[in-house]
């Protein structure tokens, strides 16, 4: 079975859509690697030159030529380093890519993923149109073949992602890189392995959608564009989309959320998506912060790296990617995704520091800083989703620079009012490498949100800024199990690697798939 990792709908929505590459085809196959005809055959080797079993077979077919070349090559010992060889005797492939697995004694999840990352880069930048990858045949401690296959499908498809940036006169870049990938093993391709390929590919597709939305400039991806993307994404999928306009939100009393976009010419939208794959079960609700550009408002941000504020809607983009993944896989779950898409701008009608607004819950908020705007939108959406009587709620937001100081760019901050939900999300983070770390949500921090003029302030001061932001949100989640992911450090990269990461789609997708597996096991045969 061949799985196509389809380009997301947003790639077809901007003016330079003709540059979008075709779909990536992924499949698991049973084959002898040495006799597999392909543009590039990928094999792993440990830092000391030792070959795993599948590599030893290829070495035997080449009569020792492969091990001799590895011994003379300049390939680095660090996992993920690669070396490319052509026309190896006894091998049907045109090219052979050797990827380092790092030291044998420390080989594990990270080295396996690093090897996949290095492989994906070589496949993306090379001239081969198809490839056969043998890395899933290598044992990883405490990990199943299905896990290795799913991770390989996701990471290889994700690694081939390119953003189709508009160019002068519609000029097209020469198309390079692999478009067909076979995950080669010696065992039979079972239904479990086929499902693992589908899950990995669907997750990568959700990541691509999230990346496209994040990477688009804010003059394209505004609140209206985001809402239209949700509608287009839902076409052909069992997803219903409802878009509430500013007037609808005002009637609901969502004045905290509306305060953020008052000065923008682009009206805010509340985008609500429903995937109904479960029989009458309570829905899992995903909420995303959708600030399509954040100037800070009257509390204007410094000019340095202000262009990165187009990524302030990556929480919203990730929940869009996650619900698409659930629908693509037809998971037996009910999922609701809700996004307050808004632009935070200065202007004559902007919210001022010191203003007091009433939230949908009825509680009042003194706005000390208009750059602490994400929580104002989220608190009203957290109240809005009570109507769905959720099984649980997970919100995702580029919420605080303080989280970047605390955890850097490696892990997202994880907060929860329920220990079991926190542990479940943490396990999903570890399984996917989409790291998260649990942070405290203690009542002592609530003291920092006191106000003389309202029920609370929207800012707790410099100390524990990520924690107090989460504590603010926690005040609106008393009626259900809730978790919050602060992705301010993990949503995008800057510098030469500038671009959205697609995180935490892998974590969210894993969470939904595990919930679906539990549901499937409970169903009568």
Residue 418 is classified by DSSP as -
Six token digits for residue 56: 């030893």
Q: Which helix (DSSP H) or strand (DSSP E) does residue 269 occupy? A: strand 269-276
Two tokens, residue 248: 């609808």
Count of alpha carbons within 13 angstroms of residue 281, beta-carbon side: 23
Mean pLDDT across the stretch 470-489? Answer: 98
DSSP 105-170: GG-SHHHHHHHHHHHHHHHHHSS-SEEEE-GGGS--TT--HHHHHHHHHHHHHHHT-------GGG
Q: Quick one: 31 exposed, middle or buried, by C-beta within 10 A (0-12, 13-18, 19+)?
A: middle
pLDDT for residue 171: 59
Per DSSP, helices labelled H in 138-270 are: 145-159, 191-215, 223-234, 246-252, 255-260
Tokens of residue 102, six digits: 């790092």
User: Is 172 labeled as catalytic in the residue annotation?
Assistant: no
Residue-level pLDDT at 23: 78
Q: Which helix (H) or strand (E) holds 514?
A: helix 505-522
Look at residue 174 in the predicted model and tell me its pLDDT. Answer: 58
Question: Which of 110, 109, 112 has the alpha carbon at shortest distance from 99?
Answer: 112
CA nearest 286: which of 180, 182, 172, 206? 206
Across 55-76, average pLDDT: 92
Does residue 170 have a pLDDT over 90?
no
Residue with tokens 């070495």: 59
Q: Can you give the pLDDT at residue 259?
A: 98
Q: Residue 264 contacts by C-beta under 8 Å, 6 or more apart in sequence?
A: 342, 343, 344, 345, 347
Kindly report the average pLDDT of the chain as a whole number. Answer: 94
Percentage of the chain exceeding pLDDT 70:
93
Q: What are the structural domains of the chain? A: 3-186 (3.40.220.10), 205-520 (3.40.630.10)
Residues with Cβ within 8 Å of 85's Cβ and at least 6 positions away in sequence, in order, are 66, 69, 95, 96, 97, 98
**Residue whose pair of structure tokens reads 């030792």 in the numeric block:** 50
Q: What are the tens digits of pLDDT across the range 196-252?
A: 999 999 999 999 999 999 999 999 999 999 999 999 999 999 999 999 999 999 999
- What does DSSP say about strands 239-244 and 269-276: parallel, antiparallel, or unpaired? antiparallel
**Which residues does 249 contact at the CB level (< 8 Å), separation at least 6?**
257, 258, 268, 270, 380
CA pair distance 511, 515, nearest whole angstrom: 6
With a cut of 60, say whether residue 14 has pLDDT above it. Answer: no
At 39-50, the pLDDT tens digits run 999 999 999 999
Encoded tokens for 182: 């076979």
Q: Which residue has the tokens 């539990």?
A: 518
Confidence of residue 520 (pLDDT cuts 50, 70, 90): confident
Annotated catalytic residue within 7, 375, 503, 515 = 375
H or E element, residue 337: strand 334-344
| Distance of alpha carbon 412 from alpha carbon 421, whole angstroms | 16
Cα 26 to Cα 307: distance, rounded to the nearest angstrom: 35
Using DSSP, state whether 187 is helix, strand or coil: coil
Checking if the pLDDT of 414 tops 60, the result is yes
The two structure tokens encoding residue 464: 């524990």
Give phi and psi for 153, each to the nearest 5: -60, -45
Give the tens place of pLDDT for each residue, 307-357. 999 999 999 999 999 999 999 999 999 999 999 999 999 999 999 999 999
Pinpoint the alpha helices (H) of 408-496.
419-432, 465-474
Average pLDDT (477-487) is: 98
**CA angle 143–146–149, rounded 5-degree value:** 100
- 284-294 and 392-397 as β-strands: parallel, antiparallel, unpaired? parallel
Which pLDDT band holds residue 75 (cuts at 50, 70, 90)? confident
The whole-number pLDDT of residue 524 equals: 61
- Give tens-digit pLDDT for 256-269: 999 999 999 999 99
Peptide bond into 504 cis (omega under 30): yes
Q: Which residues on adjacent β-strands are paired with residue 339?
A: 271, 288
119: helix, strand or coil? helix
Residues 466, 473: Cα–Cα separation, whole Å: 11
Give the C-alpha distances (Å, rounded to integers) separating 349 from 254, 293, 298, 360: 17, 17, 10, 21
Q: Rounded to an integer, what distance in angstroms lies between the CA atom of residue 80 and that of residue 103?
A: 12
Average the pLDDT over 156-175 and give the result. 77
Question: CA 473, CA 395: separation in Å to the nearest integer?
Answer: 10
- Kindly state the helix (H) or strand (E) to which residue 254 belongs, with its residue range: none
Can 301 be counted among the known catalytic residues?
Answer: yes
What digits encode the pLDDT tens for the residues 15-37? 443 334 457 899 999 999 999 99
Helical segments of 265-332, H only: 314-328
> Of residues 143, 162, 179, 301, which has the active-site annotation?
301
The DSSP line for 298-315 is: TSPPPSTTGGGGGGGGHH
The more confident residue out of 9 and 41 is: 41
Range 409-418 average pLDDT: 98
pLDDT at 262: 97
Outline where DSSP puts E strands in 7-54.
24-30, 40-45
What percentage of the chain has pLDDT greater than the value 90? 89
Question: What distance in Å separates the CA atoms of residue 356 and residue 367, rounded to the nearest whole number?
Answer: 6
> Chain-centre distance of CA 237, in angstroms?
20
What's the average model confidence in pLDDT over 106-133? 97
| CA pseudo-torsion sign 207, 432, 190, 139 | positive
């Amino acid at each position: 079975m061949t799985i196509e990792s389809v380009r997301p709908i947003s790639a077809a929505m901007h003016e330079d859509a003709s540059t979008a590459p075709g779909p990536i085809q992924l499949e698991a196959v049973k084959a002898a690697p040495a006799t597999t005809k392909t543009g590039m055959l990928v094999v792993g080797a440990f830092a000391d030159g030792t070959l795993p079993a599948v590599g030893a077979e290829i070495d035997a077919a080449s009569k020792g030529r492969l091990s001799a070349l590895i011994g003379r090559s300049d390939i680095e010992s660090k996992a993920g380093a690669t070396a490319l060889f052509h026309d190896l005797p006894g091998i049907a492939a045109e090219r052979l890519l050797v990827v380092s697995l790092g030291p044998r004694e420390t080989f594990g999840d990270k080295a396996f993923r690093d090897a996949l990352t290095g492989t994906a880069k070589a496949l993306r930048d090379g001239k081969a149109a198809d490839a056969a990858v043998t890395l899933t045949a290598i044992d990883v401690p405490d990990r199943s073949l299905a896990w290795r296959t799913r991770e390989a499908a996701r990471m290889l498809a994700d690694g081939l992602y390119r953003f189709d940036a508009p160019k002068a006169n519609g000029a097209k870049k020469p198309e390079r890189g692999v478009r067909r990938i076979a995950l080669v093993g010696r065992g039979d391709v079972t239904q479990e392995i086929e499902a693992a390929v589908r899950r990995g590919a669907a997750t990568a597709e959700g990541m691509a959608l999230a990346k496209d939305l994040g990477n688009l400039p804010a003059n394209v991806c505004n609140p209206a564009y985001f809402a239209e993307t949700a509608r287009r994404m839902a076409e052909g999928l069992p997803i219903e989309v409802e878009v509430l306009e500013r007037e609808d939100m005002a009637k609901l009393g969502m004045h905290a959320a509306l305060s953020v976009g008052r000065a923008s010419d682009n009206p805010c939208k509340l985008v609500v998506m429903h995937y109904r794959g479960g029989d009458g079960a309570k829905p899992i609700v995903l909420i995303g912060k959708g600030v399509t550009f954040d100037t800070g408002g009257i509390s204007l941000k410094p000019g340095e790296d202000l262009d990165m504020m187009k990524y302030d809607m990556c929480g919203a983009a990730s929940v869009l990617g996650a619900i698409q993944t659930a629908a693509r896989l037809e998971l037996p779950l009910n999922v609701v995704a809700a996004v307050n898409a808004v632009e935070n701008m200065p202007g004559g009608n902007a919210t001022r520091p010191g203003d007091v607004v009433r939230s949908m819950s009825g509680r009042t908020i003194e706005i000390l800083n208009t750059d602490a705007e994400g929580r104002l939108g989220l608190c009203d959406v957290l109240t809005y989703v009570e109507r769905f009587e959720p099984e649980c709620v997970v919100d995702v937001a580029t919420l605080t620079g303080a989280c970047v100081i605390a955890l850097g760019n490696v892990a997202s901050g994880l907060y929860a009012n329920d220990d079991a939900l926190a542990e479940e999300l943490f396990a999903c983070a570890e399984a996917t490498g989409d790291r998260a770390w649990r942070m405290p949500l203690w009542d002592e921090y609530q003291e920092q949100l006191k106000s003389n003029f309202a029920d609370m302030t929207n800012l707790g001061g410099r100390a524990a800024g990520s924690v107090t932001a989460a504590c603010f949100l926690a005040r609106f989640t008393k009626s259900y199990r809730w978790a919050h992911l602060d992705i301010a450090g993990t949503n995008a990269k800057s510098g030469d690697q500038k671009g959205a990461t697609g995180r935490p789609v892998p974590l969210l997708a894993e969470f939904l798939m595990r919930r679906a597996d539990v549901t499937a096991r409970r169903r009568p045969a």
